[in-house]
């Protein structure tokens, strides 16, 4: 199931023949993100090491799945975080920790990101996996 999520993201871009088209798709994906609640725009949810401001909030539901909510003040970055929300949201902590965002290599996106934006992307992934680890640790304490 989780491997298919990377493939679904790759399929979003299959009709794009140029980088301009890929950037347009990224921006469109970012615009699909629901508005982030103001109370989630806090320092704890900020992704460190990003050139632009990126917030990622996580909630664990009673079924054990984690849902991510995100926003950014930069269009391309917002698109990147939207793809990560699609990849990881609705999975259990152990699933999140096992899956890597291989779509970024398959689409050659990282080659066309500035070094600071590529670093920011990996910091977003780290933050998501950090949330998964924290929820997993919380589960083990309550069992």
2 pLDDT band (50/70/90 cuts)? Answer: low
Q: Is 50 a catalytic residue?
A: yes
Q: Which of the residues 50, 56, 87, 132 is marked catalytic?
A: 50
Structure tokens at 76: 């391309």
Structure tokens at 143: 């069992």
Whole-structure pTM value: 0.94
pLDDT at 115: 84
Helices and strands (DSSP H and E) totals, the chain: 6, 2
pLDDT at 116: 84
- Whole-angstrom Cα distance, residue 96 to residue 14? 25
Is the predicted pLDDT of residue 141 greater than 80, yes or no?
no
Question: For domain 2-138, which CATH number applies: 3.30.450.20, 3.40.50.620, 3.90.1010.10, 3.40.50.740?
Answer: 3.90.1010.10
- Per residue in 42-78, pLDDT (tens digit) is 999 999 987 899 999 999 999 999 999 999 999 999 9
Place of tokens 């301009």: 20
Q: What residues pair up with 54 in beta bridges, in sequence order?
A: 72
- Computed over every residue of the chain, the mean pLDDT equals 92
pLDDT at 137: 92
């Amino acid at each position: 199931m989780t491997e298919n999520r990377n493939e679904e993201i790759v399929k979003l871009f299959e009709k794009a023949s140029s980088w301009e088209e890929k950037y347009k798709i990224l921006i469109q994906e970012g615009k699909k993100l629901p508005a982030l609640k103001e109370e989630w725009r806090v320092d704890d949810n900020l992704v460190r090491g990003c050139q632009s401001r990126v917030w990622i909030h996580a909630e664990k539901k009673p079924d054990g799945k984690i849902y991510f909510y995100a926003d950014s003040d930069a269009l391309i970055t917002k698109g990147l975080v939207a793809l990560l929300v699609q990849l990881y949201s609705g999975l259990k902590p152990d699933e999140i920790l096992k899956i890597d965002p291989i779509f970024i290599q398959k689409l050659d996106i990282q080659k066309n990101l500035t070094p600071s934006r590529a670093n920011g992307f990996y910091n977003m992934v780290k933050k998501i996996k950090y949330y998964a680890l924290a929820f997993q640790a919380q589960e083990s304490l309550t069992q």
